[in-house]
Amino acid sequence: MRTSTLLAAGLMTLGAVAVPATVSAQPQNVVCTGTIGAIAVDNVEVPEFARCTLNGTTVLGSVEVKPFARLNASFTSVRGSVQATEATSVVVADSTISGGVEVVQGGIARVLRNSIGGGLKIEQQSGAVAANGNRVGVGVAGDVQLFENLGGTAVNGNRVSGNLQCKDNLPAPTGGRNVVAGNKEDQCLTL
């Protein structure tokens, strides 16, 4: 199919996948290797070494970030969860995630000003970590767990319906103004 035919049909090409240019009634799974705007998709996979930007995207399933990949999601709605293992960089900002966010064994992790239905876990990151301005555990008891991060961890202004747990981070996390319904534990006791 020629590019002009795709454009005439209201479609845009994202890598090798054609997705609707506006919010669609029939979402599709997407392997993201570029930018996805204000459309609806079922699930998003960011493959190894790829860069993916989600901007105003509606994800009806989950987002999975593979090793050495980069995700930058803003103003995005995810009905499932966001999961990243060994990712180089994960930034999720100003978004709504109905499930949880889990970022483990990677580089940079920045989770900023989000509404997260489940829990937030950031563990064994070698780069800078920031968990700032999030509402965690919306509708359920959700914990924030920050474990064994080595690049500096900032924890500021979160509202947590469960516990705020910080352990074995080097250096110890910094921050404050966190409102926690459960317990502030270990390194986050005074935050």
Average pLDDT, the chain: 89
**Three-class SS of residue 140?**
coil
Long-range contacts of 27-33 (CB under 8 A, 24+ apart): 27/58, 27/60, 29/61
Q: What is the mean pLDDT of residues 82-86?
A: 98
Measured distance CA(134)–CA(124) in Å, rounded: 20
**pLDDT of 93-107, one tens digit each?**
999 999 999 999 999
Residue-range domain boundaries for the chain:
3-186
